[in-house]
Amino acid sequence: MLHVLTREVEPLARTGSEPPGQVFGKRVVQFDVNGERYPAESLFERVTCHVHRAAWVPCWPSWSQPDHVKPWYVLYLCVSGGADYVVGGEACRVAPGDALLLPPHLTRSGRHDPADPFSLYSVHFSARIYGVLDLPAVYRLPTLMRPTSGRMRQLVALVQRMVTELAAGQRGCLLAAAGYCAELLALLVRDMAGEPDRTDRAGTELLRLAPVFRLIERRYGQRLTLGDLAESVHLHPAYFSSVFREATSMPPLRYVAQYRLNRVRELLLSTQIPVGEIALETGYRDPSYLDRVFRRVEGLSPVAYRRAKANPSAP
């Protein structure tokens, strides 16, 4: 439902081309939009953004990046030069005006031509819906994007504001940086997201499952059964499992397991918390059980993963 609210204001000259919300005569028209009219848009009300780092990076001639991973997204906005990247085994060439979005927990490496150094703005960020779902993944943002020149200027300006806020370090700087990050993502989703009907349908299904995601976010370190998850949305477990698989492309309990493992990776790469404490915090019975699970997925122990995946001077 769309509500139109009005109030009296001082008159302004009318040009004949005012969009809705502009003042004309003695009335300003405002739109109060609710989630019933724009169900997919309601997901954005549940997004939390956090900027871990933002920087202007003029790479030196000998720069290169060996294989490494990050526990969050990294966005590069190429200003000059360029680089050859391998992301999750896929090669791509980044040129001036390109945007490269590197997903978390995915191995990447890069190198450039020393005669034409890579210069870029970078922002390291997390953006989650209900604290669980990665927004860029839900909206199918591609790894390599080629915005229009006008849009690229807007994206660069937003990262510049993040850099300025974080460098000044004044009260509220993280909040301001998160706001600029949200605006940047809104522009990317508007221009670069997957086919609208498909993402809107996915958004509607995700809204239906909101209580499940809130439960996972709150209790992922505890034992969760299929019945617990289904009960949170008042569905039969079998039917719930089908609905959840359709919305997220995986069974519910596998999703919980992946969420826990992602939290382990994040804590290994962004903190120095001992592995034993990480195991208990993320719902594993003991460090030895976490070690077995982690070796099966990653091919090495949590301690070795922490050491091997350390940041190799990533911009």
Nearest C-alpha neighbor of 314 from the set 55, 8, 50: 55
Q: Is the pLDDT of residue 146 over 90?
A: yes
Residues 188-221 pLDDT 10s: 999 988 666 666 676 777 888 989 999 999 999 9
**Crossing angle of helices 196-208/210-219, nearest 10°?**
60
**Who's near 73: CB < 8 A, 6+ residues apart?**
101, 102, 103, 104, 124, 125, 126, 127, 134, 136
Q: Please tell me the predicted confidence (pLDDT) of residue 1.
A: 34
Global confidence as pTM: 0.76
CATH class of the domain whose range is 209-308: mainly alpha
Closest C-alpha among 86, 84, 72 to residue 122:
72
Q: Domain-by-domain residue ranges, the chain? A: 2-33, 46-194, 209-308
Q: Which two tokens stand for residue 298?
A: 């990653």
Spelled out in words, what is the top-level CATH class assigned to the domain 46-194? mainly beta
Q: What is the DSSP letter of 310?
A: S
Average pLDDT over residues 23-44: 55
pLDDT at 203 (0 to 100) = 72
Mean local confidence (pLDDT), 222-232: 96
What pLDDT, on the 0 to 100 scale, is given for residue 39? 57
Which ranges in the chain belong to alpha helices (H)?
135-138, 149-168, 173-192, 196-208, 210-219, 226-231, 237-248, 252-270, 275-281, 287-298, 302-308
- Nearest residue to 3 via CA among 26, 24, 40, 32: 32
- Distant-in-sequence, close-in-space partners of 229: CB < 8 Å, separation ≥ 6: 212, 215, 216, 240, 244, 252, 253, 256
Confidence of residue 16 (pLDDT cuts 50, 70, 90): low
Token pair for residue 129?
Answer: 């819906």
Tokens of 146: 């080629």
Query: Range with the lowest mean pLDDT among 138-142, 164-168, 279-283?
Result: 138-142
- Give the Å distances, CA to CA, from 84 to 6, 119, 238, 267: 54, 13, 46, 29
- According to DSSP, residue 47 is labeled E
CA 144, CA 167: separation in Å to the nearest integer?
28
- What's residue 199's pLDDT? 64
Residue 34 has pLDDT above 60, yes or no: no
Q: What integer is the mean pLDDT of 92-108?
A: 95
Asked whether the beta carbons of 227 and 237 are under 8 A apart, the reply is yes
| 46-194 and 209-308, same CATH topology | no
Q: Mind listing the pLDDT tens digit for each residue in 116-142?
A: 999 999 999 999 988 788 899 888 899
